[in-house]
């Protein structure tokens, strides 16, 4: 096994370990919030603005892809209703997606001037497979744990309008956050 492959495997394992630690840490923190009045008051103080901020930050974080819903048990332990948590997570994620799309638009201007051949190839690929774009966006947003910017930025570079991507992105995000929040809070209640 080459050194490059070994290093790549170690990077991936490190990332998986970091994400697993985030889940475990979230469970222990949620248990602490549930049992400690001061911690609960702190979480309540930040409230929905805190949920929104966390979902924007995690939505834009391409380097450490920890889903914002990982922290749902903490907010649920503080007494926030799950549907309200989901709504705040969806709103923050859509804001992050919009920012990511705008970054892609800026990248389009740069790519057009710096790499016109690559830009043309991406454009042709998107035009040839335009029927697959919207279902792909929905499925990615609904079932991928990675930030949506992974696909939104390249789609913005190819020139696909955000208004076309918005509904599949929104419905996929709603499905993802709902499944994840109910799944992780159920796991928390099972173990704690």
Report the predicted TM-score, pTM, of the whole model to 2 decimal places: 0.82
Q: Give me the sign of the Cα torsion angle 167, 83, 97, 26.
A: negative
Domain membership of residue 110 as a residue range = 3-191
Query: Average pLDDT over the chain, rounded to whole?
Result: 86
End-to-end CA distance of the chain: 42
Q: Please compute Rg for the chain using Cα positions.
A: 19
Mean pLDDT score, 77-91: 93
pLDDT score for 142: 95
pLDDT score for 165: 94
- The total number of structural domains in the chain stands at 1
C-beta separation of 177 from 144 below 8 A: no
pLDDT score for 85: 94
DSSP string, 33-54: HHH-HHHHHHHHHHHHHHHHHH
Q: Give the other-Cβ count within 10 Å of 108's Cβ.
A: 19
Share of residues in the chain with pLDDT > 70 (%):
99
């Amino acid at each position: 096994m080459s050194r490059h492959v070994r290093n790549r495997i170690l990077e991936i394992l490190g990332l998986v370990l970091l994400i697993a630690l985030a889940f475990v840490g979230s469970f222990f923190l949620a248990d602490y919030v549930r049992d400690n009045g001061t911690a609960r008051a702190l979480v309540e103080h930040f409230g929905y603005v805190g949920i929104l901020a966390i979902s924007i930050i995690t939505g834009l974080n391409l380097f450490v892809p920890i889903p914002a819903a990982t922290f749902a048990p903490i907010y649920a332990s503080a007494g926030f209703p799950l549907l309200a948590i989901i709504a705040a997570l969806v709103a923050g994620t859509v804001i992050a997606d919009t920012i990511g799309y705008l970054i892609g638009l800026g990248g389009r201007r740069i790519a057009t001037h710096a790499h016109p051949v690559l830009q043309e190839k991406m454009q042709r690929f998107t035009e040839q497979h335009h029927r697959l774009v919207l279902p792909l966006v929905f499925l990615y947003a609904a079932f991928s744990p990675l930030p949506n910017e992974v696909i939104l930025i390249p789609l913005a570079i190819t020139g696909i309008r955000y208004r076309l991507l918005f509904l599949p992105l929104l419905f996929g995000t709603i499905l993802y956050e709902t499944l994840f929040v109910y799944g992780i809070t159920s796991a928390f209640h099972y173990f704690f």
